[in-house]
Amino acid sequence: MNRRRDVLVLGLGNPLRGDDGVGPRVIAELEDHGLPEGIETLDAGTGGLDLLHVMEDHERIVIVDAAEIGKESGQFVRFTPDEVLLVESGGRFSLHHAGLAEILALTRALNRPLPPVVMFGVQPEDIGWGQGLSPKVEAGLPTLIDAVLAEITQ
Amino acid sequence: MTTMSVNVHHVTRVEGHGNIVVDARNGDIKECRFEVVEAPRFFEAFVRGRPYTELNHITSRICGICAVGHSTTSAMATEKALGVELTDQAQLLRKLNFHGEIIDSHVLHAYYLVAPDFFGAGSVIPLIDVNREAVERALRIKKLSGDLCAMIGGRHTHPCALVVGGFTHTPTEDELRAMRERLVAAREDMDASVELFSSLDWPQFERETEYISLTKDDEYAFVGGRIKSSDGFEYPVEDYKKVTNEEMVSFSTAKWTRHNRESYMVGALARFNNNFDQLHPKAKDAAARLGMEPIVTNPFLNTGAQVVEMVHCVEDSIKIIDELLERGVNPEDPAEAEVKAGEGVDSCDVPRGILFHHYAYDDRGFCTDANCIIPTNQNMANLNHDMQELVPQIIDRPQDEVRLTLEMLVRAYDPCISCSTHVLTVEFV
């Protein structure tokens, strides 16, 4: 039950909040696309601290998430947590729906190393209440998905 | 004489955004309130026009903490509208899934949001230095409850296998047996949890109020039942509006509710007070060790009631698994829904309290109208009345202490004001 599995692709975000749903959407597209053996996908939504245990069970983690990266809407950046400072929006520390920044802070403080994490941060246009991606983020999906596929099959 | 102004903007360690405002001059309290500044969620707009098969999945996204609670309540309301009957096995699995979420939510609230206050830690990170074992224990319990939810709901957090009519996936008997072993092993962590929370010095504050929860004849109610008030009223869930009587208030985007008094309380403490006799004996022992005997009127002990419920849910989960194994677990398809026009209301007592979903469907099974009343809204008026009674009792203390005590009161209610987006801001270094 606790065997470590290969690559986990996590989509984070709330599909009820516009472009915040880009992570779950990419997961749905990857599942439709079909993936090689040893690659697992999870639409983790706003699961918060649950992520910690899910991540610990894998060799390598690829995360797709909406992120304020100062780019044009729909553009994305690949990075590792070590390369950046992650700040949860609002800066509050509420582990009930903890975000990735908080999980990383907690695992560092507990000296409980996570498997290597690569992130694809996607610049949102609109994260107000409403379903569906904005046209710009929608238009950026094919390039994003190609990049995620290249990452997980490397 | 003193002039005191306490403004705590965006109280930390609660879900969403809420502000505490206290304005007192010469011992005269001019203002004292908890205001909610989050935009309302427009829940109804998401589900109107959508087919009945989608509603529980959409509503599970309202909140990452109560995803199973919303999904279960939503499916039950739809099942009432469309006349769907679940098998006994599916009902047992729903209860087991629900217990997983209760444990999951309570362990986070008690250990990570409330406990730091008692150890002088600003959050769970500095708590690691003070009581590392407690933080590790909470993570162990959290993993167990998350795995329990995933085993039945098919996914951590947002349960994809939970559908109208039951489940699209059935756990195997081997999986259930393995989970049973882990639950039995978790008794040690439950015992240590009771020990830890029994040792805390809870703020002394009593205020009688009305407690509202679900109730059932044969079990401690979480999934379905009748509405019960500690003031002696009972209603079928269809009459929920007689209880909630929602009203707008000028300074808050959350609607307030009232029933027999100016306010009522929902959540673990309300369930504990209303249904104490049906708790598992080990949970009653836990209550005794926590010094809790119904009726408990100190709202800070909502967290104590959560610890009691964690013990209950671990024990009841073991019992449910035994019942499932004894009956024999068979993979089964969800019960078929007959697509027709109809209306349905149902309710679950989710981690933060009683939750109502109410839907109307047209003859193609598309939602034409919807209502959802969440526990946090029902607690807002009660929290404000608590604050108004508590502040005069503590107003002479140092301002920092007043601020912390009020923050602790807000946190005791475990309010979930919004499911936030969690968009990251990334600074490249």
On whether the CB atoms of residues B383 and B111 are closer than 8 A, the answer is: no
**C-alpha A73 chain-centroid distance:** 17
Chain B neighbors of A65, CB-CB under 8 A: 423-424
Q: Are B332 and B75 in contact (CB under 8 A)?
A: no
A132 pLDDT above the threshold of 50: yes
Partner-chain residue, chosen from B142, B424, B428, that has the shortest CB–CB distance to A100: B424
Q: Which of residues 108-137 of B touch A (CB under 8 A)?
A: 108-109, 112-113, 123-125, 128, 132, 135-136
CA distances to A78, B13, B201, B297, B363 from B408, in Å? 40, 10, 12, 16, 49
Contact criterion met (CB < 8 Å) for B155 and A69 = no
Q: Give the other-Cβ count within 10 Å of B379's Cβ.
A: 29
Instruction: Give, in order, the Cα–Cα distances in Å from A7 to each of A4, A115, B176.
Output: 9, 10, 27
Assess whether pLDDT exceeds 60 at residue B389.
yes
Q: Which candidate, B98, B99, B127, B101, places its Cα nearest to that of B13? A: B127
B152, B97 Cβ separation under 8 angstroms: yes
- Residue from the list A83, A97, A121 with its beta carbon closest to the beta carbon of B15: A97
The whole-angstrom separation of Cα B147 and Cα B190 is 17
Asked if B422 is an interface residue toward chain A (Cβ–Cβ < 8 A), one would say: yes
- Among all residues of chain B, which has the CA nearest to that of A97? B64
pLDDT at B429: 47
Judge: A45–B422 Cβ closer than 8 Å, yes or no: no
Hey, of A3, A49, A112, A134, which one would you mutate to test binding to chain B, going by the most B CBs within 10 A of its CB? A49
Residues in B touching A86 (Cβ below 8 Å): 424-426
Residue B158 in contact with partner chain A when CB distance is under 8 A: yes
What's chain B's average pLDDT?
89
Say yes or no for a CB contact (<8 Å) between B425 and A87. Answer: yes
H helical segments located in B55-131: 55-59, 67-82, 88-107, 115-118, 124-130
Helices (H), ranges, B173-267: 173-185, 187-198, 240-244
Computed over its alpha carbons, how large is the radius of gyration of chain B?
21
Query: Confidence band (pLDDT; 50, 70, 90) for B101?
Result: very high
pLDDT > 90? residue B211: yes
Q: B151 to chain A, minimum CA–CA distance in Å?
A: 11
Mean pLDDT within B183-191: 98
- Write out chain B residues lying below 8 Å of A89, CB-based: 420-425
Strand partners, B18: B36
The answer to whether the CB of B393 falls within 8 A of the CB of B281 is no
pLDDT of residue A1: 37
Which residues between 202 and 261 in chain B have a beta carbon less than 8 angstroms from any beta carbon of chain A?
Answer: none
* ipTM computed for the complex: 0.86
pLDDT in tens, B361-378: 999 999 999 998 889 889
Whether cis (ω within 30° of 0) applies to the bond prior to B295 is yes
Going by pLDDT thresholds of 50, 70 and 90, the confidence category of residue B232 is: very high
Please give the average per-residue pLDDT across B255-273, as a whole number.
94
Model pLDDT, residue B11? 54
Specify the length of chain A in residues: 154
C-alpha B371: how far from chain center: 18
**Does residue A17 register a pLDDT over 80?**
yes
The answer to whether the Cβ–Cβ distance between A89 and B422 falls below 8 Å is: yes
Q: Which pLDDT band holds residue B39 (cuts at 50, 70, 90)? A: very low
Model pLDDT for residues A60-113, shown as the tens digit of each residue: 999 999 988 889 999 999 998 888 776 654 433 334 445 677 788 888 899 988
Q: What percent of chain B has pLDDT over 90?
A: 70
The pair phi, psi for residue A46, each rounded to 5°, is -110, 45
Query: What DSSP string describes B302-356?
Result: HHHHHHHHHHHHHHHHHHHHHHHHHH-----PPPPPPP--EEEEEEEEETTEEEE
Task: Give the best residue of B421, B427, B429 to mutate against chain A (max A CB count within 10 A).
Answer: B421
Determine what percent of chain B is predicted with pLDDT higher than 70: 89
pLDDT at position B270 over 70: yes
Which one of A85, A124, A127 has the shortest CB-CB distance to B427?
A85
> What is the least distance, in Å, from the CA of A27 to any CA of chain B?
13
Indicate the range of A31-45, B26-40, B41-55 predicted with least confidence: B26-40
Chain B contact set for A122 (CB, 8 A): none
Size of interface A-B (CB pairs under 8 A): 165
User: Looking at the whole model, is its pTM more than 0.95?
Assistant: no
Average pLDDT of span B36-60: 81
Query: Encoding tokens for residue B233?
Result: 């009223």
- The residue of chain B with its CA nearest to that of A48 is B64
